[in-house]
Amino acid sequence: MTEFWQTSLIETVQNSQRLTRSATQFADLGRWLARYTEAAPTSSNQGTAEVPFQRWFHFKEAFSPKFVADTLSALPYKAERCLDPFGGSGTTAVTCRMLGISSAIVEVNPFLADLIEAKLAPISAANFRASYEQLLSEIVIEPGDKALVEGMPATMTEPGVNGRFVFSADVYTTVRAILRASSRLEAGQARLLRVLLGSVLVINSNVTINGKGRRYRRGWESRQRTASDLISSLDDAVDMATDDLTLYSNLPSGEHVVHRGDARTALAGVDQADVAIFSPPYPNSFDYTDVYNLELWMLGYLKSGPDNRTLRHQTLRSHVQMKWQNTQQLASSVSLEGTLEALRRARTDLWNPHIPEMIGFYFDDLVTVFGHLRRILAPGHHAIIAVGDSQYAGIHVDVASILEECVANLGFRVVEQGAIRSMRNSSQHGGGLELSEHCLVFERA
Ligand SMILES: C[S@@+](CC[C@H](N)C(=O)[O-])C[C@H]1O[C@@H](n2cnc3c(N)ncnc32)[C@H](O)[C@@H]1O
């Protein structure tokens, strides 16, 4: 499995041939991958803007379908069932579906879990379009649609806080009305519509989102989005999804299970897999619940303030936006001890004083996940992960070396590793330096 992520797209397609079950399936896969733009680092979602299914929602933290296809074809055995404990936008699941491989996926964020399931479900494009058009013709805004959901940030809609709000009243009430009407659709159609509505929320808001939170667009006050802006972008999203569903309507649906919940516990419900391919959250203090908060609130996944806190508690301890409780230390590694010691010494220079503990908890959580993988994967089988380093106050967190040491006594050894790309460190995290993103191939002894 030497540097398999360095292959050209043509090689990826050729190498995948032995994984597919029929000439038709191989042709479908080739057509699908051909929409990927090759210039991008394979561990990022760049280059996937035109890839059917992947283009339904711009999930910045995704890896590419090429990465999954390259990994599967580099294995010394033919995988029949693949696991991804951190499903995200479902890249592993969708690529497996294209290859006729079964998958088991875990995802804690209910909006993302719906996104994954929507991509996997064989829905009739014509029926979905008919239901959507009917629904639009019947939309009624009710007086209560203006109200904030209990616990929702008051900035979500007008009047907002200090004159600032994320959605104009027109967009906000229309989203609420579409959502209410969608509950009358058949479950698979309702889920697909929710996901597509989620994909057009940010572009119809007054903010942009990145790892550091929300930022108001320049001049947002004078360019409020309207209900017709929202419907027009939703129409485009429905066109795109129905095109993809039509193009792949003959794809066998295969066996794909999405486990909704925290991988640290939900993996107990996965019995066996031939390989695990995943990218966990990085220890970079990126809070997924926060970044996807607009979708979670507006689409009804969060119904109260405590729901938001519960979901954050279920995410991997890779950020300091929560006050984490002390738990038993599971990760043991010389490199980790050295890093934690350096971080504690620099505590007063860190942008948050709890960073040293968060880093320790992060590796404890990954050890818990690998504890499950030890049971799920048979000896000689593999866990392949893409993960990035971090840096705080000039102290480098060498995730690859630390993880390698932490999971050695669980019987996992690294048989292949290499840098996939370098990433710029954010100024908040100590500035300037380039950080590596690695591919690590662990083999279960
Ligand atoms: C780097 S992203 C995975 C991206 C994915 N490989 C893709 O291509 O879309 C990490 C994912 O882990 C999820 N996550 C965070 N904590 C989790 C937990 N405890 N259990 C399961 N999923 C979790 C996040 O919601 C996020 O979707």
Q: Which phi and psi angles does 393 have, rounded to 5°?
A: 45, 45
How many distinct structural domains can be found in the chain?
A: 2
Residues 182 and 243 in one domain: yes
CB 276 within 8 A of CB 85: yes
Within a domain: residue 232? yes
Q: Does residue 372's CB lie within 6 angstroms of at least one atom of ligand 1?
A: no
User: Which CATH number covers residue 96?
Assistant: 3.40.50.150
Residues 258 and 376 in one domain: yes
Residues 243 and 360 in one domain: no
DSSP readout, 238-265?
A: HHHHHHHHHHTTTS----EEEEES-HHH
Percentage of residues in the chain having pLDDT higher than 70: 97
Best residue for ligand 1 mutational test, from 61, 262, 439 (most atoms within 8 Å of Cβ): 61
Give which of 385, 381, 421 is closest to 400, Cα–Cα.
Answer: 385
Q: Does residue 263's CB lie within 6 angstroms of at least one atom of ligand 1?
A: yes
Residues 336 and 260 in one domain: yes
Q: Does residue 384's CB lie within 6 angstroms of at least one atom of ligand 1?
A: no
Residues 67 and 146 in one domain: no
Q: What is the number of the ligand 1 atom nearest to the C-alpha of 59?
A: 9
pTM of the model: 0.96
Best residue for ligand 1 mutational test, from 46, 58, 107 (most atoms within 8 Å of Cβ): 107
DSSP readout, 374-403?
A: HHHEEEEEEEEEEEE-EEETTEEE-HHHHH
Produce one character per residue of 414-438: b if its CB has 16 or more CB atoms within 10 Å, e if not.
Answer: bebeebbbebebbeebbeeeebbbb
Strongest mean pLDDT among 2-6, 324-328, 362-366: 362-366
pLDDT at 253 over 50: yes
Q: Please tell me the distance between residue 284's alpha carbon and the centre of ligand 1 in angstroms.
A: 14
Query: How far apart (Å, rounded) are the C-alpha atoms in residues 123 and 245?
Result: 7
Residues 260 and 395 in one domain: yes
Q: What is the number of the ligand 1 atom nearest to the C-alpha of 289?
A: 25
Within a domain: residue 231? yes
Number of Cβ within a 10 Å radius of residue 144 = 9
Residues 80 and 183 in one domain: no
Residues 107 and 132 in one domain: no
User: 62-115: per-residue pLDDT in tens?
Assistant: 999 999 999 999 999 999 999 999 999 999 999 999 999 999 999 999 999 999
Q: Does residue 426's CB lie within 6 angstroms of at least one atom of ligand 1?
A: no
Residues 175 and 310 in one domain: no
Residues 234 and 257 in one domain: no
Within a domain: residue 294? no
Q: Please tell me the distance between residue 237's alpha carbon and the centre of ligand 1 in angstroms.
A: 24
Produce one character per residue of 21-56: b if its CB has 16 or more CB atoms within 10 Å, e if not.
Answer: eeeebbebbbebbeebeeebbbbbbebbeebbbbbb
Model pLDDT, residue 427: 45
Could you tell me which residue, 288 or 432, shows the higher pLDDT? 288
Model pLDDT, residue 426: 53
pLDDT at 432 over 60: no
Residue-range definition of the domain harbouring residue 224: 125-247
Q: What is the number of the ligand 1 atom nearest to the C-alpha of 91?
A: 8
Average pLDDT over residues 422-440: 66
Residues 199 and 81 in one domain: no
Q: Could you tell me where the beta strands, DSSP code E, fall in 12-157?
A: 81-84, 102-107
Within a domain: residue 295? no
Q: Please tell me the distance between residue 135's alpha carbon and the centre of ligand 1 in angstroms.
A: 32
Residues 278 and 353 in one domain: yes
Q: Does residue 43's CB lie within 6 angstroms of at least one atom of ligand 1?
A: no
Model pLDDT, residue 425: 59
Model pLDDT, residue 121: 94
